Protein backbone atom coordinates (compact mmCIF):
# COMPACT_ATOMS: atom_id res chain seq x y z
CA UNK A 1 0.00 0.00 0.00
CA UNK A 2 1.68 3.17 -1.19
CA UNK A 3 -0.44 5.81 0.53
CA UNK A 4 -1.58 6.28 4.11
CA UNK A 5 -4.36 8.62 3.02
CA UNK A 6 -6.79 5.96 4.23
CA UNK A 7 -8.92 5.07 7.23
CA UNK A 8 -7.44 2.64 9.76
CA UNK A 9 -8.55 0.86 12.92
CA UNK A 10 -6.27 -0.19 15.78
CA UNK A 11 -7.68 -2.53 18.41
CA UNK A 12 -6.09 -2.07 21.80
CA UNK A 13 -5.02 1.25 20.33
CA UNK A 14 -4.95 3.27 23.56
CA UNK A 15 -1.82 1.81 25.19
CA UNK A 16 1.31 -0.24 24.63
CA UNK A 17 1.85 -1.62 21.13
CA UNK A 18 -1.50 -0.24 20.00
CA UNK A 19 -0.79 3.30 21.17
CA UNK A 20 2.56 3.34 19.36
CA UNK A 21 0.83 2.10 16.21
CA UNK A 22 -1.96 4.66 16.50
CA UNK A 23 0.62 7.43 16.79
CA UNK A 24 2.64 6.13 13.84
CA UNK A 25 -0.42 5.86 11.59
CA UNK A 26 -1.65 9.32 12.56
CA UNK A 27 1.81 10.76 11.88
CA UNK A 28 1.63 9.31 8.37
CA UNK A 29 -1.73 10.99 7.77
CA UNK A 30 -4.14 8.10 8.28
CA UNK A 31 -7.59 8.67 9.77
CA UNK A 32 -7.30 6.36 12.77
CA UNK A 33 -10.13 4.93 14.84
CA UNK A 34 -8.93 3.68 18.23
CA UNK A 35 -10.79 0.56 19.44
CA UNK A 36 -10.27 0.04 23.16
CA UNK A 37 -12.06 -0.55 26.45
CA UNK A 38 -9.96 2.10 28.23
CA UNK A 39 -12.21 5.11 27.77
CA UNK A 40 -10.06 7.66 29.56
CA UNK A 41 -6.85 6.70 27.77
CA UNK A 42 -8.52 6.30 24.39
CA UNK A 43 -10.33 9.63 24.53
CA UNK A 44 -7.19 11.41 25.75
CA UNK A 45 -5.06 9.95 22.96
CA UNK A 46 -7.61 10.88 20.30
CA UNK A 47 -7.81 14.42 21.69
CA UNK A 48 -4.01 14.73 21.76
CA UNK A 49 -3.58 13.54 18.17
CA UNK A 50 -6.60 15.48 16.93
CA UNK A 51 -7.27 15.72 13.25
CA UNK A 52 -8.92 12.59 11.95
CA UNK A 53 -8.18 10.42 15.01
CA UNK A 54 -11.24 9.22 16.91
CA UNK A 55 -11.94 6.83 19.77
CA UNK A 56 -14.73 4.26 20.00
CA UNK A 57 -15.10 2.26 23.19
CA UNK A 58 -14.96 -1.31 21.90
CA UNK A 59 -15.10 -4.81 23.32
CA UNK A 60 -13.36 -6.93 20.70
CA UNK A 61 -15.20 -10.04 21.87
CA UNK A 62 -18.61 -8.46 21.23
CA UNK A 63 -19.95 -8.58 17.67
CA UNK A 64 -22.18 -5.50 17.89
CA UNK A 65 -19.48 -3.46 19.59
CA UNK A 66 -16.93 -4.17 16.85
CA UNK A 67 -19.52 -3.67 14.10
CA UNK A 68 -20.26 -0.20 15.45
CA UNK A 69 -16.56 0.69 15.59
CA UNK A 70 -15.92 -0.56 12.05
CA UNK A 71 -18.95 1.38 10.80
CA UNK A 72 -17.53 4.53 12.38
CA UNK A 73 -14.15 3.97 10.71
CA UNK A 74 -15.66 3.08 7.34
CA UNK A 75 -17.84 6.19 7.47
CA UNK A 76 -14.87 8.56 7.29
CA UNK A 77 -14.06 10.52 4.15
CA UNK A 78 -11.56 7.93 2.91
CA UNK A 79 -11.65 4.16 2.43
CA UNK A 80 -10.97 1.75 5.31
CA UNK A 81 -7.84 -0.11 4.25
CA UNK A 82 -5.87 -0.89 7.41
CA UNK A 83 -6.73 -2.90 10.54
CA UNK A 84 -4.08 -3.62 13.16
CA UNK A 85 -5.01 -5.92 16.04
CA UNK A 86 -3.18 -5.21 19.30
CA UNK A 87 -5.88 -5.94 21.89
CA UNK A 88 -4.94 -8.75 24.24
CA UNK A 89 -4.54 -9.95 27.80
CA UNK A 90 -2.06 -12.16 29.64
CA UNK A 91 -2.50 -14.99 32.11
CA UNK A 92 -0.01 -17.17 33.98
CA UNK A 93 -0.98 -20.52 35.50
CA UNK A 94 0.27 -24.08 35.22
CA UNK A 95 -1.89 -26.79 33.69
CA UNK A 96 -1.71 -28.48 37.09
CA UNK A 97 -0.34 -26.36 39.92
CA UNK A 98 2.14 -27.34 42.61
CA UNK A 99 -0.86 -27.71 44.91
CA UNK A 100 -2.43 -30.23 42.53
CA UNK A 101 -5.15 -27.86 41.36
CA UNK A 102 -5.99 -27.87 37.64
CA UNK A 103 -5.77 -24.72 35.54
CA UNK A 104 -8.77 -22.43 35.93
CA UNK A 105 -11.00 -23.15 32.94
CA UNK A 106 -12.63 -19.73 33.01
CA UNK A 107 -9.24 -18.00 32.82
CA UNK A 108 -8.18 -20.19 29.88
CA UNK A 109 -11.45 -19.50 28.07
CA UNK A 110 -11.22 -15.76 28.74
CA UNK A 111 -7.64 -15.56 27.46
CA UNK A 112 -8.47 -17.41 24.25
CA UNK A 113 -11.68 -15.42 23.81
CA UNK A 114 -10.02 -12.01 24.08
CA UNK A 115 -6.78 -12.77 22.26
CA UNK A 116 -7.87 -15.19 19.53
CA UNK A 117 -11.62 -14.77 19.10
CA UNK A 118 -11.33 -11.00 19.57
CA UNK A 119 -8.64 -10.79 16.90
CA UNK A 120 -10.74 -12.85 14.48
CA UNK A 121 -13.82 -10.76 15.22
CA UNK A 122 -12.05 -7.54 14.22
CA UNK A 123 -10.33 -9.23 11.27
CA UNK A 124 -13.54 -10.57 9.72
CA UNK A 125 -15.59 -7.39 10.17
CA UNK A 126 -12.80 -5.06 9.02
CA UNK A 127 -12.11 -7.27 5.99
CA UNK A 128 -15.81 -7.28 5.09
CA UNK A 129 -15.78 -3.48 5.10
CA UNK A 130 -12.56 -3.36 3.07
CA UNK A 131 -14.07 -5.72 0.50
CA UNK A 132 -16.64 -3.06 -0.44
CA UNK A 133 -14.02 -0.44 -1.34
CA UNK A 134 -12.58 0.31 -4.76
CA UNK A 135 -9.39 -1.68 -5.43
CA UNK A 136 -6.07 0.16 -5.48
CA UNK A 137 -2.72 -0.91 -6.96
CA UNK A 138 -2.55 -4.65 -7.81
CA UNK A 139 -6.22 -4.92 -6.86
CA UNK A 140 -5.44 -4.44 -3.16
CA UNK A 141 -8.30 -3.27 -0.97
CA UNK A 142 -6.68 -3.52 2.44
CA UNK A 143 -4.41 -5.21 4.93
CA UNK A 144 -4.89 -6.72 8.39
CA UNK A 145 -1.93 -7.04 10.77
CA UNK A 146 -2.45 -9.25 13.82
CA UNK A 147 -0.36 -9.55 16.98
CA UNK A 148 0.79 -12.96 18.19
CA UNK A 149 3.82 -13.57 20.41
CA UNK A 150 6.93 -15.72 20.47
CA UNK A 151 5.00 -17.60 23.16
CA UNK A 152 3.13 -19.15 20.22
CA UNK A 153 6.37 -21.08 19.54
CA UNK A 154 8.30 -20.95 22.83
CA UNK A 155 5.57 -20.92 25.45
CA UNK A 156 7.04 -21.08 28.92
CA UNK A 157 5.87 -22.88 32.05
CA UNK A 158 2.62 -21.25 33.12
CA UNK A 159 1.90 -19.81 29.67
CA UNK A 160 -0.41 -22.54 28.38
CA UNK A 161 -3.46 -20.27 28.00
CA UNK A 162 -1.52 -17.35 26.53
CA UNK A 163 0.50 -19.57 24.19
CA UNK A 164 -2.64 -21.34 22.98
CA UNK A 165 -4.33 -18.02 22.21
CA UNK A 166 -1.31 -16.68 20.34
CA UNK A 167 -0.69 -19.98 18.56
CA UNK A 168 -4.23 -19.73 17.24
CA UNK A 169 -3.47 -16.33 15.75
CA UNK A 170 -0.38 -17.75 14.05
CA UNK A 171 -2.40 -20.68 12.75
CA UNK A 172 -5.18 -18.61 11.22
CA UNK A 173 -2.85 -16.20 9.40
CA UNK A 174 -2.34 -18.23 6.22
CA UNK A 175 -5.92 -19.52 5.81
CA UNK A 176 -7.29 -16.02 6.44
CA UNK A 177 -4.91 -14.63 3.80
CA UNK A 178 -6.05 -17.32 1.37
CA UNK A 179 -9.72 -16.69 2.17
CA UNK A 180 -9.35 -12.96 1.58
CA UNK A 181 -7.22 -13.18 -1.55
CA UNK A 182 -10.40 -13.10 -3.62
CA UNK A 183 -11.27 -9.63 -2.29
CA UNK A 184 -7.73 -8.22 -2.30
CA UNK A 185 -7.10 -8.08 1.45
CA UNK A 186 -3.72 -9.16 2.82
CA UNK A 187 -3.24 -10.71 6.28
CA UNK A 188 0.05 -10.86 8.20
CA UNK A 189 0.98 -11.39 11.85
CA UNK A 190 3.77 -10.01 14.00
CA UNK A 191 5.06 -12.21 16.84
CA UNK A 192 6.89 -9.88 19.26
CA UNK A 193 9.37 -11.05 21.85
CA UNK A 194 9.99 -9.16 25.09
CA UNK A 195 8.63 -5.67 24.52
CA UNK A 196 8.71 -2.87 27.07
CA UNK A 197 4.96 -2.42 27.41
CA UNK A 198 2.95 -1.65 30.57
CA UNK A 199 2.84 -5.42 31.18
CA UNK A 200 6.62 -5.47 31.79
CA UNK A 201 6.78 -1.93 33.14
CA UNK A 202 5.82 -3.08 36.63
CA UNK A 203 8.88 -5.32 36.98
CA UNK A 204 11.85 -4.21 39.10
CA UNK A 205 14.76 -2.77 37.13
CA UNK A 206 16.93 -5.76 38.10
CA UNK A 207 14.40 -8.15 36.57
CA UNK A 208 14.15 -6.03 33.41
CA UNK A 209 17.93 -6.05 33.02
CA UNK A 210 18.00 -9.82 33.46
CA UNK A 211 15.43 -10.21 30.70
CA UNK A 212 17.42 -7.92 28.40
CA UNK A 213 20.62 -9.87 29.04
CA UNK A 214 19.01 -13.03 27.67
CA UNK A 215 18.30 -11.46 24.27
CA UNK A 216 21.07 -12.27 21.73
CA UNK A 217 21.06 -8.90 19.94
CA UNK A 218 20.31 -6.14 20.44
CA UNK A 219 20.53 -6.65 24.20
CA UNK A 220 17.51 -4.58 25.12
CA UNK A 221 13.81 -5.00 25.46
CA UNK A 222 11.83 -4.31 22.33
CA UNK A 223 10.08 -0.95 22.17
CA UNK A 224 6.48 -0.31 21.16
CA UNK A 225 7.89 1.91 18.40
CA UNK A 226 9.74 -1.13 17.00
CA UNK A 227 6.39 -2.88 16.64
CA UNK A 228 4.71 0.16 15.08
CA UNK A 229 7.53 0.55 12.56
CA UNK A 230 7.22 -3.09 11.51
CA UNK A 231 3.41 -2.93 11.33
CA UNK A 232 3.57 0.06 8.99
CA UNK A 233 6.27 -1.66 6.91
CA UNK A 234 3.91 -4.63 6.46
CA UNK A 235 1.15 -2.26 5.39
CA UNK A 236 3.46 -0.62 2.83
CA UNK A 237 4.97 -3.84 1.48
CA UNK A 238 2.28 -5.02 -0.90
CA UNK A 239 3.81 -8.46 -1.49
CA UNK A 240 3.83 -9.56 2.15
CA UNK A 241 0.87 -11.84 2.73
CA UNK A 242 0.09 -14.88 4.86
CA UNK A 243 3.31 -14.44 6.81
CA UNK A 244 4.17 -14.42 10.52
CA UNK A 245 7.19 -12.27 11.39
CA UNK A 246 9.07 -12.78 14.66
CA UNK A 247 10.33 -9.52 16.16
CA UNK A 248 12.47 -10.73 19.03
CA UNK A 249 16.20 -10.01 18.66
CA UNK A 250 16.80 -13.73 17.91
CA UNK A 251 15.43 -14.71 21.34
CA UNK A 252 14.26 -18.28 21.92
CA UNK A 253 12.55 -18.64 25.26
CA UNK A 254 13.69 -21.23 27.81
CA UNK A 255 11.07 -23.33 29.65
CA UNK A 256 11.09 -20.85 32.55
Catalytic residues: 162
Task: For residues 224 and 244, give the distance between their C-alpha atoms in angstroms, rounded to a whole number.
Answer: 18
Contacts within 8 Å (CB) and 24+ apart, 168-172: 168/112, 168/115, 168/116, 169/115, 169/116, 169/119, 170/244, 172/116, 172/120
Beta carbons of 35 and 87 less than 8 angstroms apart: yes
Burial code (b: 16+ CB inside 10 Å, e: under 16) for 182-216 equals ebbbbbbbbbbbbbbbeeeeeeeeeebeebbeebe
Amino acid sequence: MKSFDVAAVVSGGASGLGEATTRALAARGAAVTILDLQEEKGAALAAELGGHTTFVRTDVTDEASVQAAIAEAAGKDRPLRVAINCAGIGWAQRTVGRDGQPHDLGAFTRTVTVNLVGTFNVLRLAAAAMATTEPAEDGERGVVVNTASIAAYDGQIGQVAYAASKGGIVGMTLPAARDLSSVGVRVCTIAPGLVDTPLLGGLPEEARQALSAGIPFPKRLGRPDDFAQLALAVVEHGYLNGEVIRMDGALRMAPR
